[in-house]
Structure 1
Amino acid sequence: MIVETRAGAVRGVRDDSGELYRAIPYAAAPVGAGRFAAPAPHPGWSGVRDGTQPSPTAPQPVRDFGRLDMTPYFGPGWVPGEEYLSLDVRTPSADGGGRPVMVFVHGGGFVTGSNRAALYDGGAFARDGVVLVTVNYRLGVPGFLDLRGAPANRGLLDVLAALGWVRATIAAFGGDPDNVTVFGQSAGATLVGALLATPEAKGLFRRAIVQSGSGTGAFTPEQAQRVTAAAAAALGVEPTADAFAAISDERFLGILPALAGLDLRTRTATDPLAGLSPFGLVLPVQPADALADGPARDVDLLIGTNTEEGRLYDPDPATAADALGETLFGAGTARMAQAHAQISGGRRTYVYSFGYRSTALDGQLGAAHTVELPFVFDIADKPWLHGATGLLGPDPAPAGLAARVHSVWVSFANTGDPGWASDVVTTLGAGPASGAARPGRS
């Protein structure tokens, strides 16, 4: 199959779920000084581009979660190559069918991850009539370090550029550019929350899903400057874009240990990422407090967390892991949901809580961060998610749960209705969905 785009033709492959087009660039390769510039338009290509193989990935470190195999979440790590500002398109058919579009933004603490991760297999979405786009973006120093002479939040600018590509191009792949849902998990969810407060995002999507993110997860400029100063000192250069442009990606990865454990607390702000990452959004106002500036008023929102988020980082139930989950995700999710309900009149804000408890790590992982992803993508039966080191543990997933959770995401993308009233918090877990009144709502 060959699809003609504005930049050139691309060849994909067909399988049982539909058609797959991989490694399509949505912006020019970020090389040299371009790593610290806003994403530039791709110059295009002649002939037919091979879209049958995965793309390179952003430079990133290896993360270790001990006995738990998180490879399905982080993917292969850094696969070197210049054109990693790319996306994959999974579609039932590139036939101009005007289908709903979902654009997924991966997580990974703003330093790791890619659309090559096995968890993001979009076959079930294509099977169910959705065009799925999965996006790579800049990470770590090139993506989020705040530097004099460089635009802030370059990773977020990449996601905006990808959404612009979707707006201009997705019809050629069978998608409806007027029915786009952007969704993300963890760092990706926090980026989606920021899009809701970004003026340039107006008109690029109709709906948003925030999975285990935060509307209050951004660093202040003062906090960001502490990270920048530490990075510049570790590299022995001035904290400017020009100075950093001459440094290799390998050296950027090499200084990451020197940035771990920085005290980012200030007189007016706590560390929103609780020391887990020195990189993230840098904003003067938290997204939850700036929704009036962006498209939030006109966007349907599905937002939620897992009931034991912090167990991914510390599975010992005797510790403060649950408090960590509330700090990282719970409080900022609640604040974003409340702010969106106020600005949208409450009719288009839907809140969920995911409660299925993984039996991994001798049953202690529980409903931890990332555990909902196999259910959202309807792949919870995959053998590589089970066993002694698998994310879902040795036990099989409950029959029908993945299909139910996945259907919520598909229904929301189609109609803006996940299947429950906006004045309740719905629990998605081992049994049928159940609702409880949302506090503070009439």
Structure 2
Amino acid sequence: MTDSPIVDTASGPVRGFWRGHGTPDASAAFLGIPFTKPPVGKLRFAAPAPPDPWTEPLDATTYGATPLRITGEENLIPEPAVPGKSTLNVNVFTPATGGSLPVLVWIHGGGYTEGSPASPWYDGARFNRDGVVTVSISYRLGFDGFGYISGAPANRGVLDWIAALEWVQRNIAAFGGDPSRVTIGGQSAGGGAVLTLLGMPQAQHLFDRAMSFSGALADVPLAIAKARADRIAELGGVTPDVEGFRALTERRIRQLQPKAATPRAGIGMVLDLLNDGLPWGPMVDGELLRHPTVDSLTTGTGSDKPLLLGSTDDEFTMVAEREGGRFRRMPSGILLLPFLHGRSTRRAYLRANRPQRKKGGAAMVGRFISDHVFRVLVPRVAEARSGADAETWAYRFSWVSPVKGWACHCLDVPFWFDGLDREKVANLAGVAPPQALADDMHAAAVRFITDGDPGWPAWSTEPGTARVFDAPASGTDRDAYASVLPLV
């Protein structure tokens, strides 16, 4: 095991490196393997194309270039930006024992505009320890990946997900994985990506299970996508077509994206997001994505695939907390007027969230934002799959960060990966997060990836039931998402 591991892929050999040499948990990592040609020049805004083959072992010991260009130092998850042109890569983490093992393909989050597959939080070493080959993938972000462009294929970021999954099907057996036992997983926008793929007929042959953590769907209507593209072209002084947009640098488009989508700041930006949805992400183009995702799931697409999904209790309460001063003395009913116009729905929602109302206005507004963007998707998707052949399991993550004061967005990720010791986790989870909770959650993920059952009653057989992950003890709740049901 002292020699560097070399694996032959369909494009050529790759050389990785061993970790934990001489221990029972030894594994190998292969980083920055291109699954397409670099999306630059004439290939910018084009569909992903297979990489040119090579004959000498490719150095796969460092992460490849990322579509993310600026490292977000203040982001909740550490997300390195690696410079370079060849940005569409996979990273493979595999046990040293070999064999035909189950596979997890991880899709990172970041609102479809940020995020990096090179995050240390997504290292698959602990999944390797438990017999799971792990792959993290990159995809084009923001307008480059998801903006409408006349003369270019729509949903280029979605095409990148599909191309990466096709790479897995062709190559994962050489890394010890079983291509017939692939689970796709992701968090936030990555969780939305999982649900999008689950609802796509064209992707069904590429995986057999799905895990969506804090999933956020885009489902951008085509008319809105076109309007935002026209606005970028106007701001950039170019024609709204392939040649016009190619005349704008990546950096210039990144500068124009927010101006074209949500020009307001503060609570105004929140209102725009709640009314119009995420500005960039998969669009319902009528071809690749023919229907909004929940509608596709309702018609039975993906019904043969087990699904695990859930959210944290207060995904975005921190956003409202920043505006806490203006919320402090206002009644909850008035605070929700800009968000919930229907009187009966507003009253029902307030009744269902009495415990949250006692925590103050920021807590109430934050819970509504969390519910509207993330948590309501859990019962909607679960009910959409009520007639599915495969079962749906739900969870809630309720452990409160001693640092942030909430069970907030991204807090659960290092628990799923059993990575409480990793870089910057303490910034979000404190210096002594409960390892027993990580053991519980990681084991549930491994059981689902391996056996298709995380270990508690399914929503599909006991509607409303979810596992509540908390410390010092977790348990099963038969009415776990009752507080969000008025919004369904």
2:393 maps to what in 1? 350
Aligned length: 417
1:238 maps to what in 2? 239
Change beyond 3 A, Cα 1:60–1:276: farther
1:34 maps to what in 2? 43
1:141 maps to what in 2? 143
Q: Aligned AA for 1:251? A: R
User: Is the aligned partner of 1:14 residue 2:57?
Assistant: no
Relative to the length of structure 2, the TM-score reads 0.81
Following superposition of structure 1 onto structure 2, how do residues 235-314 of structure 1 map, counting pairs within 5 Å? 235-262=236-263, 277-283=278-284, 285-291=291-297, 295-314=301-320
Q: For the Cα contact (< 8 Å) 1:33–1:242, is it kept in 2?
A: no
For residues 306 and 377 of structure 2, the distance between their equivalents in structure 1, rounded to whole angstroms, comes to 18
Q: Which has the higher contact order (CA 8 A, sep 6+)?
A: 1
2:421 maps to what in 1? 381
Greater Cα offset, 216-225 or 183-192:
216-225
For residues 202 and 44 of structure 2, the distance between their equivalents in structure 1, rounded to whole angstroms, comes to 21
Q: What's the CA shift for 1:291?
A: 2.3
Residue 197 of structure 2 is aligned with which of 178, 195, 198?
195
2:429 maps to what in 1? 392
Identity of aligned residues (%): 35
Q: For the Cα contact (< 8 Å) 1:33–1:241, is it kept in 2?
A: no
For residues 282 and 94 of structure 1, the distance between their equivalents in structure 2, rounded to whole angstroms, comes to 42
Following superposition of structure 1 onto structure 2, how do residues 59-78 of structure 1 map, counting pairs within 5 Å? 59-61=68-70, 63=72, 65=74, 70=76, 73-77=77-81
User: Is the aligned partner of 1:323 residue 2:368?
Assistant: yes
Q: Which runs of 4+ in 1 moved over 6 A?
A: none
Q: What's the CA shift for 1:24?
A: 0.6
Q: Deviations over 1:80-109 (max 9, x none)?
A: 2111100100000373x1000000000001
Q: What's the CA shift for 1:384?
A: 3.0
2:66 maps to what in 1? 57
1:91 maps to what in 2? 94
Q: What's the CA shift for 1:274?
A: 5.6
Q: Aligned AA for 2:393? A: Y
Q: Rg bigger for which structure? A: 2
Q: Deviations over 1:105-154 (max 9, x none)?
A: 00001111111112112111111110000001100121011111111111
Greater Cα offset, 204-213 or 249-258:
249-258
For residues 156 and 383 of structure 1, the distance between their equivalents in structure 2, rounded to whole angstroms, comes to 29
Change beyond 3 A, Cα 1:60–1:178: same
For residues 312 and 233 of structure 2, the distance between their equivalents in structure 1, rounded to whole angstroms, comes to 37
Q: For the Cα contact (< 8 Å) 1:408–1:418, is it kept in 2?
A: yes
Q: Aligned AA for 2:384? A: A
Q: Deviations over 1:160-217 (max 9, x none)?
A: 1101111111000000000000001111111111101112112111100011114x53
Q: For the Cα contact (< 8 Å) 1:125–1:410, is it kept in 2?
A: yes
Change beyond 3 A, Cα 1:89–1:295: farther
SS at match of 1:226: helix
Q: What's the CA shift for 1:254?
A: 2.4
Q: Deviations over 1:221-265 (max 9, x none)?
A: 1221221121111111111122212322121122234235258xx
Relative to the length of structure 1, the TM-score reads 0.89
For residues 360 and 180 of structure 1, the distance between their equivalents in structure 2, rounded to whole angstroms, comes to 35
Unaligned stretches of 5+ in structure 1?
A: 264-269
Change beyond 3 A, Cα 1:52–1:219: same
For residues 171 and 273 of structure 1, the distance between their equivalents in structure 2, rounded to whole angstroms, comes to 43
2:442 maps to what in 1? 406
Q: For the Cα contact (< 8 Å) 2:309–2:395, is it kept in 1?
A: yes
Residue 122 of structure 2 is aligned with which of 98, 120, 123?
120
SS at match of 1:203: helix
For residues 8 and 274 of structure 2, the distance between their equivalents in structure 1, rounded to whole angstroms, comes to 42
Q: For the Cα contact (< 8 Å) 1:183–1:209, is it kept in 2?
A: yes
1:267 maps to what in 2? none
Q: Deviations over 1:372-406 (max 9, x none)?
A: 001001012346321xxx0113x411231111111
For residues 67 and 308 of structure 2, the distance between their equivalents in structure 1, rounded to whole angstroms, comes to 28
Q: Deviations over 1:9-49 (max 9, x none)?
A: 00010011400000011111101231211111112212110
Q: For the Cα contact (< 8 Å) 1:146–1:228, is it kept in 2?
A: yes
Change beyond 3 A, Cα 1:377–1:200: same
Q: For the Cα contact (< 8 Å) 2:100–2:177, is it kept in 1?
A: yes
